[in-house]
Amino acid sequence: MHETALSPESNDSFNDQIRIVLVETSHSGNIGAVARAMKNMGLGNLWLVNPASFPDETSYARSAGASDVLDRAHVVSSLDEAVADCVMVMGTSARGRKVPWPVIPPPDAAATAVQQAGSGKVALVFGRENHGLSNDELQRCHYHIHIPSNPDYSSLNLAMAVQVICYELRMFHLKSLEEGESGPYLQPMVAPGDEGWDSPPATAGEVEGFFGHFEQTLVDVNFHRRDNPRHLIARMRRLFQRARMDQMEVNILRGVLSSIQKAAGTQSRKEQGAENAAGSQHKGQE
Ligand code: SAH
């Protein structure tokens, strides 16, 4: 049995499966307020991508006793690094973007996150105070979460947005505990990560490896130029993210790409090595 997501009362075991990721936060007070919001709801796994200032006095002052969350925070230099080992990535956004992405409301996001946390790590990603998450960052996500705020004034303070999402996570967790295994919140098996699926969900790092290989192959066969408007790649990212690929599917697709490159005479040595590794892994899993 997997470790329960969100331990009921977190005196010793903060949950390691669900992580809150803050991207390039400019006010360290907000980082402290986020730590507090998380701890109130029983969460403690905080990742910071290039914070403007951390650790510092302001963040600890605003954390109001949640300093242990700050002590344990991971500081990394890219979003890719923060989510590489996650099987589900959800980005939060106050507004819609050019290429629309699957958007889910906070309660559905919480249910999905807690369920996926049974089989792997889940990241909930929050953007900069001044301009949120970039399109590239949002395109690394399976889902976008929108808090249905006033459309004429839609942007919440960062820590308040984190609070809303963590509250929903907690509500779902408490409901699941109350209703146990027979509760209506248990989902049928529909995707990698669900109990009974035959291959583990691909991590964000594996999926990024695939996207890099995919784009290179499209360039090799002259279907795509990197200096073209990037909507083609955005749309392909959206397609594959929607499919929620498992590890075996990623390995097969990379094998296909390598064969295309071989036929086009463009496969590099490095890719040949990756293909051999993917091929043997694939054979091992069947
Ligand atoms: N001005 C920015 C919003 C920044 S608010 C913009 O227009 O995009 C800082 C962060 O809080 C956002 O990146 C997002 O992570 C979160 N946030 C704020 N309001 C939100 C909302 N209504 N729904 C989801 N997330 C929200």
Is residue 199 in a domain? Answer: no
Q: Concatenated DSSP letters for 162-197?
A: HHHHHHHHHHHHHHHHHHGGGSTTPPPS-STTSTT-
242 and 126 share a domain? no
- Write down the pLDDT at residue 11: 34
Is residue 209 in a domain? Answer: yes
177 and 222 share a domain? no
55 and 152 share a domain? yes
- Write down the pLDDT at residue 286: 37
Is residue 191 in a domain? Answer: no
CATH code at 33? Answer: 3.40.1280.10
- Write down the pLDDT at residue 5: 43
CATH code at 262? Answer: 1.10.8.590
**Interatomic CA distance for residues 47 and 53, integer angstroms:** 14
Q: Provide the number of structural domains found in the chain.
A: 2
| CB of 78 closer than 6 angstroms to any ligand 1 atom | no
| CB of 94 closer than 6 angstroms to any ligand 1 atom | yes
pTM over 0.95: no
Is residue 9 in a domain? Answer: no
Is residue 66 in a domain? Answer: yes
223 and 275 share a domain? yes
User: Which of 49, 92, 134 for a ligand 1 pocket mutation test, highest count of atoms within 8 Å of Cβ?
Assistant: 92
- Write down the pLDDT at residue 282: 46
pLDDT beneath 50, residues of the chain: 1-14, 184-185, 279-286
32 and 163 share a domain? yes
27 and 163 share a domain? yes
- Write down the pLDDT at residue 16: 77
241 and 168 share a domain? no
Is residue 196 in a domain? Answer: no
- Residues 174-205 have pLDDT tens digits of 888 887 755 544 556 788 888 889 999 999 99
| CB of 46 closer than 6 angstroms to any ligand 1 atom | no
Count of alpha carbons within 13 angstroms of residue 125, beta-carbon side:
32
Q: Which of 5, 18, 10, 90 is nearest to 47 (CA)?
A: 18
212 and 174 share a domain? no
Is residue 10 in a domain? Answer: no
132 C-alpha to ligand 1 centroid (Å): 5
- Write down the pLDDT at residue 173: 87
160 and 95 share a domain? yes
Containing domain of residue 65, as a range? Answer: 18-182
- Write down the pLDDT at residue 283: 43
- Write down the pLDDT at residue 23: 98
User: Which of 138, 154, 155, 166 for a ligand 1 pocket mutation test, highest count of atoms within 8 Å of Cβ?
Assistant: 155
159 and 72 share a domain? yes
Is residue 195 in a domain? Answer: no
**Interatomic CA distance for residues 203 and 121, integer angstroms:** 9
Q: CA distances (Å), 83 to each of 18, 41, 269, in order?
A: 11, 22, 28
- Residues 96-133 have pLDDT tens digits of 777 889 999 999 999 999 888 888 999 999 999 999 99
177 and 208 share a domain? no
Q: What is the CA radius of gyration of the chain?
A: 20
**Interatomic CA distance for residues 51 and 240, integer angstroms:** 30
**Interatomic CA distance for residues 30 and 28, integer angstroms:** 5
| CB of 104 closer than 6 angstroms to any ligand 1 atom | no
192 C-alpha to ligand 1 centroid (Å): 29
| CB of 126 closer than 6 angstroms to any ligand 1 atom | yes
82 and 221 share a domain? no
